[in-house]
């Protein structure tokens, strides 16, 4: 399974109304997984054509 998010795990506690549920989801997703964190400017912004207003 591949899961992408624009929020770090720490922010998930503010997204889900119940912190117990948020922690349970994080625990099940993170167990035996590989985390890839990509930093920097969006590649799509670099390659997209300029929009003329």
Residue 40: what pLDDT?
82
Does the residue 43 lie in any domain? yes
Does the residue 1 lie in any domain? no
- What's the rounded Cα separation, in Å, for the pair 16 and 25? 10
pTM of the entire structure? Answer: 0.55
pLDDT, tens only, 1-53: 888 888 887 888 888 888 898 889 889 988 888 888 888 887 777 777 766 65
- What's the rounded Cα separation, in Å, for the pair 15 and 22? 8
Does the residue 2 lie in any domain? no
Does the residue 52 lie in any domain? no
Q: Which domain holds residue 13?
A: 9-47
Residue 51: what pLDDT?
63
Does the residue 4 lie in any domain? no
**Domain count for the chain:** 1
């Amino acid at each position: 399974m591949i899961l992408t998010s624009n929020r770090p795990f720490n922010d998930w506690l503010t997204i889900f109304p119940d912190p117990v549920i948020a922690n349970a989801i994080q625990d099940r997703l993170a167990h035996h997984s590989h985390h890839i964190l990509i930093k920097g400017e969006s590649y799509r912004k670099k390659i997209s054509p300029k929009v003329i207003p």
